[in-house]
A and B are shown apart, each in its own frame.
Chain A
Amino acid sequence: KAGVTQTPRYLIKTRGQQVTLSCSPISGHRSVSWYQQTPGQGLQFLFEYFSETQRNKGNFPGRFSGRQFSNSRSEMNVSTLELGDSALYLCASSLTGRAINEQFFGPGTRLTVL
């Protein structure tokens, strides 16, 4: 079974621009979660989608948004990029996201904001 895939793997943007990241979950998985990882903050939860609906949301500003399509693929968008948005963005998929369901990570998208 193919794992979680994320595109692009690397991205360089400038302040003020916007960016869209894509995630394809493991086949059959319907829950997709997004995380931001920085050296100082560790893994920070952004949001989770299940069946095209945002089910949980972390404590991030409205510049961070996401969506999920009917095939469970998900995208996240960051508008008006700031230097502090430079991070590794990780997508993780799970069958349902509920207890006993294991969550598997994609390789991540490394975003650098100049």
Chain B
Amino acid sequence: QKEVEQNSGPLSVPEGAIASLNCTYSDRVSQSFFWYRQYSGKSPELIMSIYSNGDKEDGRFTAQLNKASQYVSLLIRDSQPSDSATYLCAVNTGNQFYFGTGTSLTVIP
């Protein structure tokens, strides 16, 4: 079983809609959780970090964490074509970072 699992997609949403990206992790001692955005041909860029249960909002982005269900999600409100990218979920168990394989998001104008 992989440490971090994501649906590879592709996920397509119309411009202005809410995009919902999901991630599950296997290690219950995982302590911190991150979302990265990666444009084609570029390196991953950190967009959100979350450490405690609940929601964390930053602009159009909301990260949600449920440690009991070992589940973390990212919501992108008012999706824009510029949000089209691959989104990577990452988990730190206290010892090492683990990455999912990413979900490809396309926002259709």
Contacts and interface: CB of A to CB of B under 8 A. Distances in A.
Say whether A and B bind each other. yes
Interface string B36-68: 100000111110010100000000000000000
B87 interface: no
Interface stretch (A12-20, A66-74, A78-86, A95-103): A95-103
A92 B96 CA distance: 12
Contacts of B43: 88, 90, 105-108
Contact of B96 (A45, A102, A106): A45
A107 B45 CA distance: 10
Contacts of B92: 98-101, 103
A103 B96 contact: no
A114 interface: no
A43 B88 CA distance: 9
A56 B96 contact: yes
- Range for the number of chain A residues in contact with chain B: 20 to 34
Contact of A103 (B42, B90, B95, B101): B90
A75 interface: no
Most chain A CB atoms below 10 A, which of B45, B99, B102: B99
Contacts of B31: 99-100
A29 B99 CA distance: 20
Contacts of B51: 99-100
Contacts of A97: 96-97
Interface of B: 31-32, 34, 36, 42-46, 49, 51, 88, 90, 92-102
Interface of A: 33, 35, 42-43, 45, 48, 56, 88, 90, 92, 94, 97-108
